[in-house]
Amino acid sequence: MMWLNFLHFYQPANSSLYRINEAVEKSYWRLITILKDNPELKFTANISACLLERLKDEGFIDLLTSFIDLINEGRLEIVGSAAYHGFLPFLPITEVEYQIRRQEELTQEILGVDLKGGGFFFPEMAYTPKLAKLVKRLGYTWIIVDEASVNSDKYEAAVIDTNSSLEVIVRSRSFSNAYLPDLVNNDLNNNLPKLIVTATDSELYGLRHQDPTRELEKMIGLDKLETATISEFLNQKKSLNKFKLKSASWETNHLKDKNNPFIIWNNPKNIIHRDLWRLVALAIQAGKDFSDDKSYEAYRWHLDRGLASCMFWWASGVDFSHNFGPVAWNPDEVESILNDLIKSVRSLSSQDSLVIKLKAEKLINHIQRDLWRSHWSNHWRSNSEKN
């Protein structure tokens, strides 16, 4: 069995050191150790630049050195992405390009990797034809998407996207939403397909799924298991079928959300989502209007951290138990990112920015009011009823 395993290493830029330590100790070191102990093992990964920055700043030098060693050995392939995990379909194309180039700069600086010419991962696997064309123009050759973007009755692991001419690796949603080691180790009759493509958060392996019986390590030791980087796999393909990919994320349900494939991050019925995106637009416009402000660097620093997709995810209220996750509702998590978003506008020094600042303050007051009103009137009550 060939296993193409794509790992997404990410923590928000403003995550607490405790949370980063937890991910490092429970998941990152486990994956690194498995790769070190198994010379034939190969994975492909995105390591978000905002996480690389934090790992460097917080002194995780041994971990970064281990990443570099595995990259140089050709057993850990690194792909491009957006540095601060913005939700790209709803951001201006100039902001998207900024985040992609920032990912390139920081990956080169910290890991010594030139990302051009390789693969690309859209945060939340949120593909659109427009984004794919941009990625192609910026020098990438392949992308990874969820099978929802292909939307075909027959699963194909690799195709060509006619929107962009990019090669595409297609993750299997069913296998990615399960814990593959459990499935493989219990497959006594060899009923699994010969090729399995998974793409998951790296935190699945240890942090989100504890795996006390070490099923991952057992799976890695199986003689029947083969692995390759995604680029190696694609280089072996002589011809690929062509598909016109659809806008989708790794959580899109086209049957349920026909008109909005990104409803988890932008639900028109969710007033918190509505006002969050209004504040995002206002904050980005502030940067355009005051690009020569003497405090622009502080503005940009906060804006980077205030655009993380997690803010919208934690305001969605969607149950992710199907994917080893919680109910995506947490006002504290929303506010932790929201605080950076509003601080970007507050950072501007020009007296002329007063008007846009007052608009932003009005919006954040509405957001916080609705956020906590919804929390205490709905989620708190439902939890108390269960108890």
pLDDT digits (tens, 9 = 90+) for 155-191: 999 999 999 999 999 999 999 999 999 999 999 888 9
Q: How many Å apart are CA 193 and CA 189, to the nearest integer?
A: 12
Is residue 381 over pLDDT 70? no
Q: Residues 19-47: what's their mean pLDDT?
A: 98
Can you give the pLDDT at residue 8? 98
Q: Which DSSP letter does residue 276 get?
A: H
Residue 171 backbone phi and psi in degrees, to 5: -80, 145
What is the per-residue pLDDT across 313-342, written as a single tens digit (0 to 9) for each?
A: 999 999 888 877 788 999 999 999 999 999
Can you give the pLDDT at residue 387? 42
Write out the E strands in the chain: 2-9, 43-47, 76-78, 119-121, 142-146, 158-161, 167-171, 195-201, 226-227, 242-243
Can you give the pLDDT at residue 189? 81
Q: Note the residue count of the chain.
A: 387
Share of the chain above pLDDT 70, in %: 98
In 3D space, the residue among 27, 199, 47 whose CA is nearest the CA of residue 108 turns out to be 47
Which CATH number is 2-243 given?
3.20.110.20
Confidence of residue 151 (pLDDT cuts 50, 70, 90): confident
Top pLDDT among 383 and 265 is at 265
pTM: 0.95
What type of residue sits at position 205?
Y
Can you give the pLDDT at residue 385? 46
Q: How far is CA 242 from CA 42, 146, 311, in A?
A: 27, 16, 35
Q: How many Å apart are CA 245 and CA 261, to the nearest integer?
A: 13
Is residue 297 over pLDDT 90? yes
CA 1 to chain centre: 27
Instruction: Convert 318-346 into a string of H (helix), E (strand) and C (coil).
Output: CECHHHCCCECCCHHHHHHHHHHHHHHHH
Q: How many Å apart are CA 313 and CA 351, to the nearest integer?
A: 34
Confidence of residue 204 (pLDDT cuts 50, 70, 90): very high
Is residue 41 over pLDDT 90? yes
Q: Which residue has the tokens 């690929």?
A: 240
Can you give the pLDDT at residue 255? 72
Mean of all residue pLDDT scores within the chain = 95
Is residue 206 over pLDDT 90? yes
Q: Residues 88-109: what's their mean pLDDT?
A: 98
What is the per-residue pLDDT across 207-257, written as a single tens digit (0 to 9) for each?
A: 999 999 999 999 999 999 999 999 999 999 989 999 999 999 999 987 787
Q: What is the rounded radius of gyration, in angstroms, for the C-alpha atoms of the chain?
A: 21
Can you give the pLDDT at residue 382? 52
Q: How many Å apart are CA 265 and CA 151, to the nearest integer?
A: 21
Q: How far is CA 4 from CA 31, 176, 193, 242, in A?
A: 15, 11, 12, 21
Poorest-pLDDT segment among 34-38, 113-117, 206-210, 378-382: 378-382
What is the per-residue pLDDT across 2-13, written as a single tens digit (0 to 9) for each?
A: 999 999 999 999
In this structure, what token pair is assigned to residue 183?
């499935």
Domain ranges of the chain: 2-243, 271-378
Q: Residues 293-308: what's their mean pLDDT?
A: 98
Q: How many Å apart are CA 160 and CA 166, to the nearest integer?
A: 6
CA 352 to chain centre: 36
Contact yes or no for 83/305 (Cβ under 8 A):
no
Confidence of residue 57 (pLDDT cuts 50, 70, 90): very high
Write out the E strands in 241-373: 242-243
What is the per-residue pLDDT across 266-292, written as a single tens digit (0 to 9) for each?
A: 999 999 999 999 999 999 999 999 999
| 3-state SS assignment for residue 63 | helix
Can you give the pLDDT at residue 238? 86
